[in-house]
Each structure stands twice: as structure tokens, then as C-alpha cells.
């Protein structure tokens, strides 16, 4: 019974934990303006998820991934990516030249949207399973990653990020290329390792067999 209750209310629990995470992340954040810029995907996603919750309920797997991705963004927003303690620990432990927490974040920038794009494309009947589904999903993730790099550029160009914390290049001239490459790797790994589980959950949520959606 407790497990059944948890499964029924898991999306709501994760939603309110994300709201709580926004509050905790903002309190004592390094820079309020940078926090807004870095937490923007979460802040924009919350009303979208709430509005479409009854009309278009996602699979449990996707809700968990969205929560994981949101949590990583909110941690980065609180400290700014170059100051996240876990990244600094990695830098000291492995003698790295920079804090690589943002690299992890960009990996998940491909990993999480891949399942989101896959779910929407399948359930809306845009494309069926096969090569073209995977190709379009990866392209969507790369487009999202590239647009995010453009946003970082605009933030500097319009002097919204005078410190460079939002861009987070940390002196790496190939930072944008690394970010997009890691998003690409993340999207591919999500498709390789999660597609089977995602198909099973789609069959449970949508109520139709794989070949039909």
C-alpha cells in the first residue's frame, strides 16, 4: 500500500520538492541576478508542468529525470557553477585545471531533454520508433544546447553577466564546444540506456502497445 501511494503521488511529491529546492537554492545564493539566469529553465518549467499535469501526464521516468536535472541546475545557480563544492573537490582530487561541475550539467542538458523529446515525439505521433526517432531526438538536444550557448553570449553582450559566472567558461576557449559535445553524449547515452524502460512506461501510461504509438 505505501508503495502504491508513493507511485500515485510521486509526480506531485517531486514537483513540491522542486519548489522547495528553488527556495533553498535562492536563500544565500552567491549572486541573485546570476541565480535567476541559471535557474531560469526550472522557473519556466514549473508553471508549464503544472498547467499540463492533467492534460499530458508524463511517465514516472521522465518526472524523475526532470527532478534530477532541476536539482543540478539549482545547485549550480546557488553557488554559480565555477564555485560548486563538488566540482572544486573533483578539481583538487584529480588535479584538474577548472571546476567541471558545469561539464556534468551540460551532460545532463542532453540526457534529460532526450527522454522529454522522445516522449513528446512518440505520444504526439510525430515520428515512429527507429533511426529517425533517435536522430531527431539528438538533433533537438543539440539545438537546445546551442541555443543555451547563444543565451550565455547574449547575457555577456547585454551586460547581464559582467562577472562571467553565467557563461562559466573559466578561461577555456573551447568551453562552448565542450558543452555542446557533452550534451550530444548525454542524449546518446539516454537513448541507449533508457529507451527500453521508457517504452515500457509509455505502454503503461498511454495504455497502448509500442507499435501503436
Instruction: Report yes or no: 187 and 142 within 8 Å, Cβ to Cβ.
Output: yes
Residue where the block lists cell 538536444: 141
Distance CA 116, CA 198 (A): 10
Quote the pLDDT of residue 1. Answer: 44
3-class SS of residue 33: helix
Band of residue 166 on the pLDDT scale cut at 50, 70, 90 = low
pLDDT digits (tens, 9 = 90+) for 35-56: 999 999 999 999 999 998 888 8
Quote the pLDDT of residue 6. Answer: 59
Q: What are all long-range contacts of 121-128, with beta carbons under 8 Å and residues at least 24 apart?
A: 122/202, 122/213, 123/56, 123/202, 123/206, 123/213, 125/213
Range 70-87 average pLDDT: 94
pLDDT digits (tens, 9 = 90+) for 118-165: 999 999 999 988 999 999 999 999 999 999 888 888 877 777 776 666
Distance CA 59, CA 187 (A): 18
207 vs 5, 102, 168, 180, 199, CA distance in Å?
Answer: 20, 38, 44, 35, 11
- Give me the half-sphere count of Cα atoms (radius 13 Å) on the Cβ side of residue 155: 21
Contacts of 53 (CB under 8 A, 6+ apart): 11, 15
Quote the pLDDT of residue 13. Answer: 95
Q: What is the pTM of this model?
A: 0.90
Domain ranges of the chain: 2-212
Quote the pLDDT of residue 213. Answer: 47
168 pLDDT above the threshold of 70: no
Amino acid at each position: 500500500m505505501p508503495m502504491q501511494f508513493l507511485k500515485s503521488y510521486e509526480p506531485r511529491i517531486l514537483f513540491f520538492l522542486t519548489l522547495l529546492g528553488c527556495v533553498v537554492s535562492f536563500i544565500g545564493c552567491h549572486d541573485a541576478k546570476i541565480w535567476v539566469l541559471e535557474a531560469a529553465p526550472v522557473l519556466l518549467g514549473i508553471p508549464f508542468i503544472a498547467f499540463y499535469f492533467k492534460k499530458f501526464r508524463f511517465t514516472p521516468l521522465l518526472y524523475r529525470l526532470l527532478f534530477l536535472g532541476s536539482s543540478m541546475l539549482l545547485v549550480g545557480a546557488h553557488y554559480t557553477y565555477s564555485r560548486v563544492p563538488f566540482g572544486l573537490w573533483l578539481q583538487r582530487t584529480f588535479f584538474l585545471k577548472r571546476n567541471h561541475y558545469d561539464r556534468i550539467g551540460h551532460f545532463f542538458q542532453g540526457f534529460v531533454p532526450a527522454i522529454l523529446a522522445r516522449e513528446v515525439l512518440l505520444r504526439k505521433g510525430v515520428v515512429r520508433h527507429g533511426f529517425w526517432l533517435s536522430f531527431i531526438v539528438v538533433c533537438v538536444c543539440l539545438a537546445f544546447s546551442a541555443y543555451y550557448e547563444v543565451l550565455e553570449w547574449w547575457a555577456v553582450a547585454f551586460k547581464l553577466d559582467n562577472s562571467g559566472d553565467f557563461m562559466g567558461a573559466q578561461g577555456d576557449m573551447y568551453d562552448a564546444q565542450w558543452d555542446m559535445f557533452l550534451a550530444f553524449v548525454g542524449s546518446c547515452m539516454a537513448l541507449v540506456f533508457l529507451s527500453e524502460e521508457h517504452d515500457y512506461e509509455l505502454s503503461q501510461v498511454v495504455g497502448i502497445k509500442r507499435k501503436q504509438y
